[in-house]
């Protein structure tokens, strides 16, 4: 391997690590956001960059430990903010990694910048939510979190080894290229999943009976759409094993999400309703329900991306394919698990 190739491989490795770091830390951020909403602790700490105005005036990163760990509300709220800072710093690092990458991929760099801007916008919404003590901004902050998480997941997909290998390996096999599903199925599923998460955010921030009714009714629609996408992706297994695995992940996430939704509803009923004191069981199940919903959305978006990627490779492979008499047996490329 020459020096240029080594540098290229090194920059790609760091970009991949940073993309994963941003996405995983955002998953932690979403989880703590879910805890805050469940505990109704959105205003546990007054202020944004300067905390407890008139009662300490602490800079965000220098908040005293005794206040941070005073109770579950302040702990979850301040930890959420600190993790948000980590996400922002890692997002900057990912943009830099894509900027210095040689050769630079225009799409990957643009999406890295888009991810950073989305993180900054989401942080600003969260900050103004506290400054304005606005329930509407709290709802918007929760709804946008799912979109930001999905966008950062796109960067993980595009940074994967499989994304670059697929074109070189010529997957899917030319004879089976027609078996690939339409990306529209995955995008529709992503839209339905997101609509369901917005209804869930509305319910969690208001406790309205109408929000609960709509969330439960639309859950049936979301289940049907996700099952259809999972089945569609699994049927593509002969042409693209990668899609088959994506379909199985969707199915497993859906089963887990349904279980958590029912467990959360039961925990709320047993505790006395949305206005009653929040129990530990409700905190765990509701937060997990939010996080798995975000993962479902990200997986649907990833499925759409992979379908588009494989579909764009197939025509090029077909144009370069040798005649039947010239063809030699070859193994279909399989992505790493």
Contact between residue 194 and residue 146 where contact means Cβ atoms under 8 Å apart: yes
283 found inside a domain = yes
Distance CA 144, CA 194 (A): 10
Cβ–Cβ contacts within 10 Å for residue 321, how many? Answer: 14
Contact between residue 190 and residue 229 where contact means Cβ atoms under 8 Å apart: no
| β-strand pairing of 58-59 with 50-51 | antiparallel
- Indicate left, alpha or beta for 327 from its phi (over 0: left) and psi (-120 to 50: alpha): beta
Give 243-295 pLDDT, tens digit per residue: 888 999 999 999 999 999 999 999 998 988 888 888 999 999 999 999 999 99
pLDDT, position 175: 42
pTM for the whole thing? 0.86
261 found inside a domain = yes
How many domains does the chain divide into?
A: 2
Mean pLDDT on 312-323:
48
Distance CA 29, CA 23 (A): 10
Query: What is the rounded average pLDDT for all residues in the chain?
Result: 86
pLDDT at 138 over 90: yes
Whether 251 and 152 map to the same domain: the answer is no
Whether 206 and 264 map to the same domain: the answer is yes
Whether 196 and 311 map to the same domain: the answer is yes
Whether 126 and 199 map to the same domain: the answer is no
Structure tokens at 213: 């009714």
337 found inside a domain = no
Q: Which domain holds residue 100?
A: 1-159
Give 62-116 pLDDT, tens digit per residue: 999 999 999 999 999 999 999 999 999 999 999 999 998 877 778 999 999 999 9
Q: Which of 159, 187, 211 is a domain's end point?
A: 159
Whether 65 and 196 map to the same domain: the answer is no
Give 20-39 pLDDT, tens digit per residue: 999 999 999 999 999 999 99
């Amino acid at each position: 391997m020459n020096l240029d190739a080594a540098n290229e491989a090194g920059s790609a490795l760091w970009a991949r690590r940073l993309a994963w770091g941003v996405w995983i830390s955002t998953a932690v951020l979403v989880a703590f956001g879910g805890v805050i909403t469940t505990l109704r602790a959105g205003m546990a700490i007054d202020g944004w960059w300067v905390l407890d105005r008139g009662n300490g005036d602490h800079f965000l990163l220098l908040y005293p430990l005794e206040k941070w760990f005073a109770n579950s509300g302040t702990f979850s709220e301040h930890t959420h903010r600190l993790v948000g800072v980590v996400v922002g710093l890692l997002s900057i690092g990912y943009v830099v990694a894509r900027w210095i990458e040689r050769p630079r991929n225009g799409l990957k760099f643009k999406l890295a910048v888009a991810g950073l801007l989305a993180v900054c916008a989401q942080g600003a919404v969260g900050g103004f939510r506290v400054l304005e003590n606005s329930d509407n901004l709290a709802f918007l902050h929760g709804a946008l979190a799912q979109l930001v998480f999905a966008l950062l997941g796109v960067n993980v997909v595009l940074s994967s080894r499989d994304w670059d290998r697929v074109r070189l390996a010529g997957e899917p096999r030319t004879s089976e290229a027609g078996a690939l599903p339409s990306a529209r199925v995955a995008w529709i599923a992503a839209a339905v999943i997101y609509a369901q998460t917005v209804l869930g955010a509305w319910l969690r921030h208001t406790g309205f009976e109408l929000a609960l009714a709509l969330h439960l009714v639309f859950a049936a629609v979301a289940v049907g759409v996700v099952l259809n996408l999972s089945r569609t992706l699994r049927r593509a297994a002969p042409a693209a094993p990668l899609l088959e695995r994506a379909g199985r992940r969707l199915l497993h996430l859906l089963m887990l999400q349904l279980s958590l939704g029912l467990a959360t509803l039961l925990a709320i009923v047993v505790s006395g309703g949305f206005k009653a004191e929040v129990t530990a069981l409700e905190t765990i199940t509701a937060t997990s329900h939010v996080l798995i919903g975000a993962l479902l959305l990200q997986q649907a978006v990833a499925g759409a991306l992979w379908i588009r990627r494989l579909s764009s490779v197939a025509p090029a492979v077909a144009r370069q394919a040798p005649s039947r008499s010239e063809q030699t047996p070859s193994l279909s490329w399989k992505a790493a698990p």
